[in-house]
């Protein structure tokens, strides 16, 4: 194993200008991530200067042919190969150049490039929850096989071998994301044992989706290395256990300016009028999570409040006190597409005219 590790950790820059670029894209389910590597003649961090590449879309449930195309959109440092090697976030197209249905970035980019949206400089902070599962049995890490741990209470931000399951994965992911250039702002253990959260943000516009997807990819690579399974199921265990969400914190330039609270209230009013449309786009299986219990609002009813974790949208006390700031949309599920959620919030609050 030591020889294998030595080879894996070879520093290419000592002997060649060539680098390895790992091209990453979203597969046919809309949640599975695919990747393959290619050699580049020299380091490059500008996605517009990277070559497009073909792949077999028929094997990812995205096309009938074998020449679907991936187009580089964002570049990150590679925490696995290190050196000058890179991870490349791509979106997907048919052979004729049309975006594949699971390419949610294409439409999101249109919204975020709208001059009205650009002028508002929308910031997002996404709280990505996830569950670590034991490989082979799909049961949460640290749980007795076929059984249950003690009730919720000691696990949220808990410390100890009987409370925090998988911390080595979480810490490795945290550092790997920072190395890659992802604006991860924190991590914490969640209410259900075996469940964790990382936060990405604040990030402006389309880059929020790029960074969340890349953070997901890095996390799944790490769980692969240690033999655990990553789940974004919004309710991985039925019963009296918390689900998993992706609370989305949001502000615009107008909201961050003096008296921005008035802009926030108008934005929330707009969101209330498009509640059904947003819920339909906020993740599969979300009805199992948004029950009105376990710090959620009922999926069929829109509500908002100050410091209310049982509301659809929460305004923080600091925002209320300052009269400006941001709000938190608590409806998105853990398996949401960040391109869809962020662009839809921007579209509804900035562009939509009731």
Tally Cβ neighbours within 10 Å of residue 35.
Answer: 16
How confident is the model over 135-163, as pLDDT tens digits?
999 899 999 998 999 999 999 999 999 99
Q: Per-residue confidence at 335, pLDDT binned at 50, 70, 90?
A: very high
pTM: 0.97
pLDDT of residue 1: 64
pLDDT above 70 (res 308): yes
Alpha-carbon distance of 97 to 116, in angstroms, equals 28
Alpha-carbon distance of 154 to 163, in angstroms, equals 7
Alpha-carbon distance of 346 to 335, in angstroms, equals 19
- Strand-pairing partners, residue 91, are 71
Q: Are 132 and 230 in contact (CB under 8 A)?
A: yes
Q: Name the residue among 248, 147, 234, 130 with its Cα closest to residue 200.
A: 248
pLDDT of residue 80: 97
Average pLDDT, the chain: 96
Sequential DSSP letters for 260-316: HHHHHHHHHHHHHHTHHHHHHHS-TTGGGT-BS-SS--BTT---EEET-TTSSEEE-
> Percentage of the chain with pLDDT > 90?
89
Q: Are 98 and 112 in contact (CB under 8 A)?
A: no
Q: Name the residue among 139, 248, 239 with its Cα closest to residue 195.
A: 139
How confident is the model over 176-190, as pLDDT tens digits?
999 999 999 999 999
Q: Name the residue among 238, 222, 242, 239 with its Cα closest to residue 230.
A: 222
E strands, 174-223, are 184-189, 195-204
Q: Per-residue confidence at 324, pLDDT binned at 50, 70, 90?
A: very high
Average pLDDT over residues 13-17: 92
How confident is the model over 30-66, as pLDDT tens digits?
999 999 999 999 999 999 999 999 988 888 877 766 6
Alpha-carbon distance of 120 to 114, in angstroms, equals 10
pLDDT of residue 56: 83
Average pLDDT over residues 192-221: 98
How confident is the model over 236-275, as pLDDT tens digits?
999 999 999 999 999 999 999 999 999 999 999 999 999 9
Q: Are 285 and 246 in contact (CB under 8 A)?
A: no
Alpha-carbon distance of 201 to 328, in angstroms, equals 13
pLDDT of residue 68: 86
């Amino acid at each position: 194993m030591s020889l294998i590790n030595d080879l894996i950790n070879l520093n290419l820059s000592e002997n060649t200008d060539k680098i390895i670029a790992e091209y990453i894209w979203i597969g046919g389910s809309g949640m599975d991530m695919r990747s393959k590597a290619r050699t580049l003649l020299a380091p490059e961090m500008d996605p517009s200067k990277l070559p497009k590449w073909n792949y077999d879309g028929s094997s990812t449930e995205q096309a009938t042919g074998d020449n679907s195309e991936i187009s580089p959109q964002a570049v990150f440092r590679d925490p696995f190969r290190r050196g000058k090697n890179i991870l490349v976030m791509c979106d997907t197209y048919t052979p004729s150049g049309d975006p594949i249905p699971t390419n949610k970035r294409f439409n999101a980019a249109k919204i975020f490039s709208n001059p009205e949206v650009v002028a508002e400089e929308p910031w997002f902070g996404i709280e990505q929850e996830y569950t670590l599962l034991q490989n082979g049995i799909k049961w949460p890490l640290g749980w007795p096989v076929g059984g249950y741990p003690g009730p919720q209470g000691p696990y949220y931000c808990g410390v100890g071998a009987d409370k925090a399951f998988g911390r080595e994965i979480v810490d490795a992911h945290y550092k790997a994301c920072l190395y890659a250039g992802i604006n991860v702002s924190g991590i914490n253990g969640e209410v259900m044992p075996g469940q964790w959260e990382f936060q990405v943000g604040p990030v402006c516009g389309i880059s929020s989706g790029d960074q969340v997807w890349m953070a997901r990819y890095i996390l799944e690579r790490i769980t692969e290395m240690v033999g655990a399974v990553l789940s974004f199921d919004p309710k991985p265990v039925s019963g009296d256990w918390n689900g998993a969400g992706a609370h989305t914190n949001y502000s615009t330039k107008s909201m961050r300016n003096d008296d921005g609270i008035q802009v926030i209230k108008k934005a929330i009013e707009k969101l209330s009028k498009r509640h059904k449309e947003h819920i339909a786009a906020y993740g599969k299986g979300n009805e199992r999570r948004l029950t009105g219990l376990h710090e959620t609002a009922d999926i069929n009813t829109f509500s908002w409040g100050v410091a209310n974790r049982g509301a659809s949208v929460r305004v923080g006390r600091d925002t209320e006190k300052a009269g400006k700031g941001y709000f938190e949309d608590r409806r998105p599920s853990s398996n949401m597409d960040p391109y869809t959620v962020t662009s839809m919030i921007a579209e509804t609050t900035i562009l939509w005219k009731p």
